Homo-oligomer: A and B are copies of this chain.
Amino acid sequence: MNTQREVDEFVKNGHREYLPHVSIDSVIFGYHDQQLRILLLRWRGLEGWGLPGGFIRRREPLSQAAHRILQERTGLEDLFLQQFHVFGDTPYRVRERSPEEFIEKYGLDIGHDNWLFERTLSIGYFALVDYSKVTVRTDFFTDAYQWWEVGEIPPLLFDQNEEVEKALATLRLQIYHQPIGYNLLPEKFTIPEIHSLYETILGKELDQRNFSKKLLALGLIRKLDERRAIGPHRSPYLYQFEKEAYEEALKQGIVHTY
């Protein structure tokens, strides 16, 4: 959605293509350089940072909509993507919107009864991606993007800081039940990398010896016969996820600590 024509059409007639009153917001976690980051977009006009999101087409399955929105934004398919909460309690999510601001900022000629001003619940999804593989696309409403460290998220538009918090809390809980990492790490990774990923997500230190023992004991990763030369020190071995064990753990669920 980049041309003025497309935007006009979306604003005026979007309710014919999309369901009103419900949107999808995505908290996209990416990992790189030992940092867990979240993709935020800068909204033109509103002059603030916010989550990527979108609407559900009238005949589109919900989860397909979530995948589509992410794919349009990042180019990635087949992500780990999961619902985590529906937001509909904060004053922003209860009120109808006031259109004046919007109209003025975007210079769009729309009436007060436009579908975009109606109360809209937001279904939160979170995704895990290897962010070196992502090519972010902006559009008419967004003029910049940035990967922000989870500890340094700026004040976001609307109630979205709350959404990010909830996504993080869900991710931390999931890590005890699912072998998270497959989608956040490159295909081959080192123990220090995955170790640091888990420390970052959980926000606490994990003993390095115990950590690798545990992962290997669970059979979730396999040591390869290669190393990665990355600095003036010993080169770490590379590992891969064991696809079958991983899928199994995803399906069955697991209960464990680290």
Contact = CB atoms under 8 A, between A and B. Distances in A.
A69 to B, nearest CB: 14
Interface stretch (A38-46, A58-66, A239-247): A58-66
Contact of A255 (B19, B22, B94, B257): B257
Interface in A13-69: 19-22, 56, 58-65
Contacts of A62: 86-89, 93, 121
Contact of A123 (B59, B60, B86, B255): B86
A124 to B, nearest CB: 10
Band of interface residues on A: 20 to 34
Copies of this chain, whole number: 2
A111 interface: no
A56 B22 CA distance: 12
Contacts of A85: 83
A162 to B, nearest CB: 13
A176 to B, nearest CB: 6
Contact of A176 (B89, B119, B255): B255
A173 interface: yes
A88 B59 contact: no
Contacts of A119: 19, 58-59
A177 interface: yes
A95 interface: yes
A61 B87 CA distance: 9
Given A21-B22, A62-B86, A62-B89, 10 more contacts: A21-B21, A61-B88, A61-B89, A61-B90, A62-B87, A63-B89, A83-B86, A173-B253, A255-B255, A255-B257
5 closest Cβ contacts across the A-B interface?
A62-B88, A61-B89, A19-B21, A21-B21, A63-B89
